[in-house]
A = this chain, B = another copy of it.
Amino acid sequence: MRASTLVSSSLVAGLALLSACGSGSTGGTDQTTQLDVDIPANMFEPVAATAPDLPNNAATPERVALGKMLFFEPRLSASWLISCNTCHNLGLAGVDLQETSVGHGWQRGPRNAPTVLNAVYNVAQFWDGRAANLEEQAKGPVQAGVEMNNTQDRVVATLKSIPEYVDRFHAAFPEDTDPVSFDNMARAIEVYEATLLTPDSRFDLYLKGDVSALSASEKQGLQLFISKGCTACHNGINIGGRAYFPFGVVNRPDAEILPRDDMGRFKVTHVTTDEYVFRVAALRNVALTPPYFHSGKVWDLGEAVRVMGTAQLGSNLTDADVEAITAFLHTLNGRQPDVSYPILPPSGPDTPRPMTGPTGTR
């Protein structure tokens, strides 16, 4: 490994964001409780029980219900075999447990699927932040050749051919004259995904003042997580996900973990200092979402912590430190969403048939 001298424009933005959070209450929502780990003010925030309001996307019951159906709808893919839930399985903490995701034609995509749970809290979507929000994100995999391999026209034709969806789009977007659109598909999915939150993790109970929610070793791990500097990147409500940093702030990991042909955010900004820069991983439910990193090459959470110590902090963490930090990370598992499986409407006579071959073929 070699020392990296990168100074990322995104990194500077990230640090500016942090410095804006200089003072305020301690940790969580309860400002009066004295916690036995010293948490800097405003460093963390518990996950909410209900979805945040989204700009220009009203969470009406009709829209959320439609979004849930579309999230589970395999007919959004060319093959009718892949839905959002395929790679963001709500029974598996919103991931697929694959190194990198497998899509149309059993093709393997380039990066590990981040969880959809709590994703609404992230500053932007995808590992490189190329989608500003979940609405924009939802449009990507539907059209990606290695994922759902569909086209906007075919998706709209499919949805318009299914009578119940036409009715539901009208109910969900009552002010639109032509509501069955690719944009509205993505908006409905966004508003549903914003409901996929995992409150009441033991860490959040602790933040709210229940000092018995964490064990001694977990508290020690939390203390180390702060004192070693992990919180420089992993902070806020999602314990990450709100800024960009190079993978290898101090030492660039080897090419197995950080493949050199994936330059990360550079592909989005084309700024040299964004080479190998990624959105900070959000650590909510991290113990449930192996394998780790954008490459998905590390399966063991302790090993991932060790890699982070070397690469980002220039610190060879001791076995005891790794163990304690890993114990703390397990306390970030929250209450998983209670989802009733949606019944999807029957196709119509004009619904385009599934195509399992390469694009443009059956």
Which residues of B are found within 8 Å of A90, using beta-carbon distances? 341
Whether A72 sits at the interface, judged by CB under 8 Å, is: yes
Contacts of A92 in B (CB 8 A): 74, 344
Q: How many copies does the complex hold?
A: 2
CA of A344 to CA of B106, assembled, Å:
24
A353 an interface residue at 8 Å Cβ cutoff? yes
Supposing A96-B80, A96-B81, A300-B349 touch, asked if A356 and B288 sit within 8 A by C-beta, the answer is no
Q: Which of B91, B102, B353 contacts A342 (CB 8 A)?
A: B91
Q: How far is the CB of A341 from chain B (nearest CB, A)?
A: 4
Nearest-neighbour CB distance to chain B for A159, whole angstroms, equals 15
Complexed CA–CA distance, A97 and B346 (Å): 10
Residues 72-97 of chain A, each 1 if its beta carbon lies under 8 Å from chain B, else 0: 10110001110000100111110011
* A326-354 near B? 1/0 per residue, CB < 8 Å: 00000000001011111110110100011
- Let me know if A220 is at the binding interface, CB within 8 A: no
Docked pose: A314 CA to B102 CA in angstroms: 47
User: For A91, A108, A287, A356, which residue has the most chain B Cβ atoms within 10 angstroms?
Assistant: A91
How many Å from the CB of A157 to the closest CB on chain B?
16
Contact of A266 with B by CB under 8 A = no
Q: How distant is A259 from chain B, measured CB to nearest CB, in Å?
A: 17
Is the CB–CB distance between B343 and A341 below 8 Å?
no
A273 at the B interface (CB under 8 A): no
A299 proximal to B (CB < 8 A): yes
Q: Which of A290, A300, A343 is the most central at the interface, judged by chain B CB atoms within 10 Å of its CB?
A: A343
Is A105 among interface residues, defined by CB-CB distance under 8 A?
A: yes
> Closest B-chain residue to A80, C-beta based?
B97
B354 pairs with A97, CB closer than 8 A: yes
Interface contact A336-B347, CB-CB below 8 Å: no
* Cα–Cα, bound, A74→B75 (Å): 20
Contacts of A295 in B (CB 8 A): none
Q: Does A98 contact B (CB under 8 A)?
A: yes
- Determine the distance from Cα of A49 to Cα of B98 in the docked complex, in whole angstroms: 39
**A340-B341, A354-B97 given; A74·B102 CB < 8 A:** no
A344 & B74 in contact (Cβ 8 Å cutoff)? no
Q: Are A79 and B102 in contact (CB under 8 A)?
A: yes
Say yes or no: A97 contacts B356, CB within 8 Å: no
Docked complex Cα distance between A340 and B96 (Å): 19
Please give the distance in Å from A323's CB to the nearest CB on chain B: 13
A356 CB contact (under 8 Å) in B102, B338, B341: B102
Do B290 and A91 touch across chains, with their CB atoms under 8 A apart?
Answer: no
B105 and A106 within 8 A (CB): yes
> Is B97's CB under 8 angstroms from A72's CB?
no
A-B CB proximity, top 6 nearest: A106-B106, A339-B341, A91-B344, A336-B343, A341-B341, A288-B346
A-B contact pairs, 9 of them (CB 8 A): A80-B97, A93-B346, A98-B356, A102-B356, A108-B356, A288-B346, A290-B347, A339-B341, A340-B341
Given A91-B341, A300-B349, A339-B340, 12 other A-B residues pairs in contact with their CB atoms under 8 A: A72-B91, A75-B97, A81-B96, A91-B342, A91-B343, A91-B344, A97-B354, A98-B354, A98-B356, A106-B106, A299-B353, A341-B341
